[in-house]
Structure 1
């Protein structure tokens, strides 16, 4: 038990330190330094007690076994000595006895020693088994069985799709969508309505329970996961950039991209101008959190990456909430350039996007409750009309 709690407390302590280190700005901003230190001290204290008891038990094992063995030797010598003086046995018998006693006790000592190691192994192994017990991904189609879309068009169909993150909790009941090449689909709905889930199913990050999703008539389960994801370009709300140069971050969109292609992609994304104003231009190294460029600039780089990838289908989680109006206009332009002639799924937050969409999917509690164009849905006066009026009535140029 002590070994188990020692491992658990150690894990907690490491987690706490990592959390406090990455979120130190927030801790400083809200003045919670003392609370953070107090929490560290509390976990550390628990670790100290578990560790002390666990180490005491493992430390006491060996001396205890040696003590018992040595008592055995003393007894053999004393009793043997008395018997020799009485001529009942010879000295050689005592020697043999000591050998036997040693042979008998040695495995016991080793077993006690191994027991210590096994204790901490079991405690650590629990986490490993937790991971191993997780459900495996379904197998990939292999070799000839794997379908290949040679010239992707970008037609997407959802037919009677049913899905739930857990077996007993169905999130999407019966979803049917038919998207033609080059169409733009806006997905709207309140927080937690399942907008991101839809994207996750399309990219096959999760397996559907029933129904089928097809791209250009091919069921996505017949494609290799890697091939399927190559068809998509994603620009998400949380901009993900890694430690390296701006050039490398854009080039991540496509293997073997030339310098000209990288610059063209940056120009199309309206990122070329700000990159050139940086002291080292395209060779500027982004640090771990990419905090040496602004949020809007990060977003433009992820758009440049998607333009370079030149995918058949786009998934955009419009993220212009953290940028100023001018940058937002640039991002909107870049998004527009990116979406030309491609099928795109846009998790929409902005009025302009929704108005321009070929099809709007209104989601609530995981289901598509309404679909159609902007004008059709407004005329219907249902959930979308309410959402639209409440959410966008304060925006410039909106029609309440």
Structure 2
């Protein structure tokens, strides 16, 4: 008996088929086939993880610490995270029950969404934003509702925008400040205006604060510090950006115990625990890494100041980012759309940038350029981009 004539059932889920591949990856894949490319597209530090952090991880392996940790992570690491959040950002969380160590902040976002979203729940996504937010909401059965922030408002979320987007089905809002890709930040008073609406409409908040340390002009104000927001906020952060530990894949969640416990259940079945070696390195980073963080932040600030001024000078108006390590210049004077600009620039001048439209509403006429690369590389990239604009008689 054969079954060759029997048609196969649909192999893939509808939700997965509806999701588009990351718009960032196409340009990285194309750039990888070319020589002499300067990449301003990668969202990771160009610094190597400090030696003392690497050494701590190596030493832990040599001492035989190679087994699973507790699902929530090493208690010592959770204690250090608790101290760090209190000392640096004035928010208090108990190491047991209110802190969860994750496989990168990305897993933290996924766990948070899956823990709180029911099918049909609406989740407001403040855009331009990290490319994974909306797909993660969709995969959980939720409905992502984008709010496009505007250049004229310095890419900040305004209370009127939020009020307009909220419906009876709204469950939560995802915030990311300092923002990827715009570098926008929000002040204490601006966040308190958002907090008022969150409480008024009984919402939860996923506050992605992975770039908190990379705030250049004003100290970062953590959203759960706003009155009434501690119990409504799931704070997501990690070690990738500030501590130059992207490949270590280590993040953490802080929040109310009932929500963190729900996320821990999912984490138990999907990841078991984060890397033991990475957790030992992270303990060292939190105990002795602040000097290295400060050194990197000083370098990023210098690069930001150069790059924003340079973009303005070559004819690409650029919002002045208060944090993260991205510039988000406006390419509308060129008459090109973002994808066309990025592709032609890569082919003609071997400079890789990311089209702003992959980050959602508000990014359509922009490109994201990471300044997590050397000043020499930034200068060369600007020279090439200037030549590109001159060739096309744009500036």
In terms of Rg, which structure is larger? 1
Same fold, TM-score > 0.5, yes or no: no
TM-score by length of 2: 0.28
- Tell me the TM-score normalised to structure 1 length: 0.28
